[in-house]
Amino acid sequence: MADVIKVVDDGMSIITNRLRRNDDGTPHFLHWGVGTTDAANGDSAMQLLTNCDEDRAVGVMTQQTTNETNDTFQVVGTLTCITATKAIQEAGLFDAAGSSTPKVGGNMFLHGTFDSISVNVADSIEFTIKVAFDQA
């Protein structure tokens, strides 16, 4: 018999269930930034936070299904612009609310960069972040 080991379908559900536990260390604090460099594997912080004085949003975590039941960890959170008009080009998920202004610190779980989204004071962006696991 060949050596075979799998994280099985239900195992992926355990991963996402563990991720969404609403206690310290869960990566559900959303932040935005104005950096212009593509996200990379080694990123650990937002690139540029000029005029990004907003607190990190506390996202709502759920399990979702992409391929197998509950194989996907989802966070939905909304950030509202309070400081100045800016072009948002990055979003990140952290395991802590961070400190100082703008917010820094905590461990980055996910970092995404994209075409700029212009926001004025009192505009908001609702981000929906999904991470799906698969044995492929």
Where along the sequence are the contacts to other proteins (CB under 8 A)? 3-7, 12, 15, 18, 25-27, 39, 41, 66-67, 78, 91, 95, 107, 109-110, 112-115, 117, 119-136
Cα 133 from Cα 45, distance rounded (Å):
23
In sequence order, the 6+-apart residues with CB closer than 8 A to the CB of 101 are 53
Q: Which is nearer to other proteins, 58 or 110 (CB)?
A: 110
Cα 95 from Cα 97, distance rounded (Å):
7
The token pair at 120 is 């004025």
Report the nearest approach of other proteins to the CB of residue 29 (Å).
Answer: 12
Report the nearest approach of other proteins to the CB of residue 131 (Å).
Answer: 5
Report the nearest approach of other proteins to the CB of residue 13 (Å).
Answer: 13
Q: Tell me, what amino acid is at 133?
A: F
The token pair at 8 is 């099985």
Q: Which is nearer to other proteins, 45 or 119 (CB)?
A: 119
Q: Which is nearer to other proteins, 25 or 105 (CB)?
A: 25
Q: Which is nearer to other proteins, 49 or 109 (CB)?
A: 109
CB-CB contact of 43 with 111 (8 Å): yes
